[in-house]
Structure 1
């Protein structure tokens, strides 16, 4: 019996062009395409584009899940609460001044860091060829 290799449509369109490697951290910080490093990854604030307008990479593989949100909560919470406690213990600001300062800072930093971490995790997924787990049934 002879086995033939049958390529599916996804295998035909899968990353056959040669691109120089893009650093995932750089792609994450610039929110750029993980393959070419030039196209924009997001369409809006956090919505991932369907394809890269520069190299045509299909972003259907991209699923950052809840990972970026968990990291953002931990990092920004640590920074903002630490700063608020330091300022309150050393300067004794009134509560209204704390609210005016720390709420916009926390929201702004969270939105920026969420975007960057989501782009970083997508770039790492692409570089490491990550995909959902599969059960190998022999």
Structure 2
């Protein structure tokens, strides 16, 4: 292992031990797909948004995740930035009736939000896992 592939992670005894770097992009892709960021085989979420306590395939512990409100904020940011220019374009170009415009954009906004929210939550949990944030600093089952 090279020095670039190692970084120091805190141990329970307050000693620094070198551990292998976790790849971020594969973990993000797995998280976006709502799969375990460690093995990619097990499901990350139980239900729509509840994160499992551990992966049923590789036993990676997910209790350390702290996604909290981050996925909701990112969803609002992305949906707002996508829908606002489209709303303005449709309003200026076609001048639909207000009730039609409100109904159409409400449906699209809710649908896009419902699509993005679990994927962003998975990606955020995977990002925390890959960067060893919070309690993810311990070596996983594949690393031990």
Q: Distance in 2 between matches of 1:92 and 1:27?
A: 42
Say which SS state the counterpart of residue 32 (structure 2) adopts: helix
Q: Note the C-alpha offset of 1:79.
A: 1.1
Q: Distance in 2 between matches of 1:93 and 1:111?
A: 25
Q: Distance in 2 between matches of 1:131 and 1:49?
A: 16
* Contact 2:34–2:44 (8 Å) recurs in 1: yes
For 1:86, the equivalent position in structure 2 comes to 89
Asked if residue 50 in structure 1 is aligned to residue 29 in structure 2, the reply is no
Give the 4+ runs in structure 1 shifted more than 6 A: none
CA deviation string 1:80-134 (max 9, x = no partner): 12111110001001112112211111111112211111111111111111017xx
1:34 pairs, out of 29, 34, 37, with: 37
Asked if residue 107 in structure 1 is aligned to residue 110 in structure 2, the reply is yes
Q: Note the C-alpha offset of 1:24.
A: 2.0
Aligned-residue RMSD, C-alpha: 2.0
Q: Note the C-alpha offset of 1:29.
A: 2.1
Q: Distance in 2 between matches of 1:25 and 1:58?
A: 17
Asked if residue 119 in structure 1 is aligned to residue 122 in structure 2, the reply is yes
| Structure 1 unaligned residues grouped into runs of 5+ | 1-6, 9-19, 133-138
Higher strand residue share: 2
